[in-house]
Amino acid sequence: MKLKLTIIMILSIFMVNTIYSSNKEQRITVPIDVMATGGAGIASVNRFSMLYMNPAALGVNAYNAFSVLKIGATINYDLIELAMEYAEAGDIDYANFSEEEWQRLLNLKAYAGINSPLALGYIGYGIGILLYNDIVTSFKINQAPGLPSVDLGIFSDIGLSVNYGFEVPLPFFIGKFSKLYAGINLKYIFRIKQDGYRMSLLEAFDIVSAITEGERGLLVGHCISSDVGFLFDTPNIAVGLVIRDWFNPPFVWGEYNYVDGSLVKMETDYEIERTYFYPSLDIGMAYKSVQNLFVLSEMNFYFDIVNSLDFSENYLLKLRLGAEVTLLRVFKFRAGLYKGYPTIGLGIDLPVINFNFAYYTEELGRAPGNIPQERIMFDIHLIF
């Protein structure tokens, strides 16, 4: 009876948060090797990005490493293409823009992200610790009858994640080589942001002008959150489950301005609404094939379903599928399907420095094919 009540309570939390999601906060951290494998990797146990995916994977102790720093970026392909054209043209004369040029500019959906230089951490002996930072800026103009609207998002995070994974004893009859792991993490996120959705062009311009002139500040908030994960591992197949942000953690906000190089809190006559990381249930499976050949060192296949209990979202946008092939123990070729779109990637793992590249398509609409945005990612990671 207690188990039934617990299950009903958990499902109720997920359903309520699906309905009332107007104050939902964004998760902006995206591991590049995970995106290259279609965004899948909840059941992976042999890469540094498992710190972001499933704390239970740390209990396997298949990976030990120190991370020193990371220099990486993400940008959408349309923005690169437009910037290169403007760079070749030299001075831009907006007064002589043709209707086609104005239409292209108004249809631009810009996205740029930086994760640098913080990536200080350690994985080993069931423990994972990481201090990191991420910056994301997005700008989208929504065409509509009458005046278009604007979606603006500027986020800057400094995060600390402390993870612990351990083995859970299983009855002997389940299998000699089958193991169950559990894990939990504790996350602290310090976030600076300014965002607005469905704003008029005039409102967006006023916000940017007010911030640059010091009349309006940036929102500064912090959040303490936690994930709980499980991993059932066999020699070739692993199944993972993660409950992210399981206690519905809030962001507490204040409005700050830069004065003489430091943040100073502004006095406001209104209360800033709290936002939340809503709980999500992610499940995944991995097939592992370790090869003894020198050329073909390893093959891994991943399949995930993210936020599986949020039925307000098109279910095709939840599916992740990917593969990773390691050659000569150095070169990692990655590919997959992310939200119905193909992804490709390459990793080069040297003794101290790792290089990673990924191409993927983000869906900005409500279903695959509505508003695709092509993006590329790259990073250089010092890890040993």
> Residue 252, CB half-sphere, CA atoms under 13 Å: how many?
5
Q: How far apart are CA 1 and CA 159, in angstroms?
A: 39
C-alpha distances (whole Å) from 364 to each of 111, 113, 359 are 11, 16, 16
Q: Which pLDDT does position 143 carry in this prediction? A: 73
Please, are residues 326 and 292 in contact by the beta-carbon 8 Å criterion? no
Please, are residues 73 and 353 in contact by the beta-carbon 8 Å criterion? no
Buried/exposed code over 128-153 (b: 16+ C-beta within 10 A; e: otherwise)? bbbebbbbbbbbbbeeeeeeebbbbb
Please work out, in degrees rounded to the nearest 5, the angle formed at the alpha carbon of residue 179 by the alpha carbons of 173 and 181.
135
Strand partners, 355: 348, 380
Q: Which pLDDT does position 8 carry in this prediction? A: 47
pLDDT digits (tens), the chain, 384 positions: 544 544 444 555 554 444 445 688 988 888 999 999 999 999 998 889 999 999 999 999 888 999 999 999 999 988 887 777 776 666 666 666 777 777 777 777 899 999 889 999 999 999 999 999 999 999 888 776 667 788 888 899 999 999 999 999 988 767 678 999 999 999 999 999 988 888 877 777 777 777 777 667 789 999 999 999 999 999 899 999 999 999 999 999 998 887 776 778 877 777 888 999 999 999 999 998 876 666 888 899 999 999 999 888 898 999 999 999 999 889 999 999 999 999 999 999 998 999 999 999 999 888 888 889 999 999 999 998
Structural domain spans, the chain? 2-62+71-278
Q: How far apart are CA 126 and CA 63, in angstroms?
A: 10
Neighbours of 262 (CB within 10 A): 8
> Is the torsion defined by CA of 249, 254, 258, 263 positive or negative?
negative
Q: Which pLDDT does position 313 carry in this prediction? A: 87
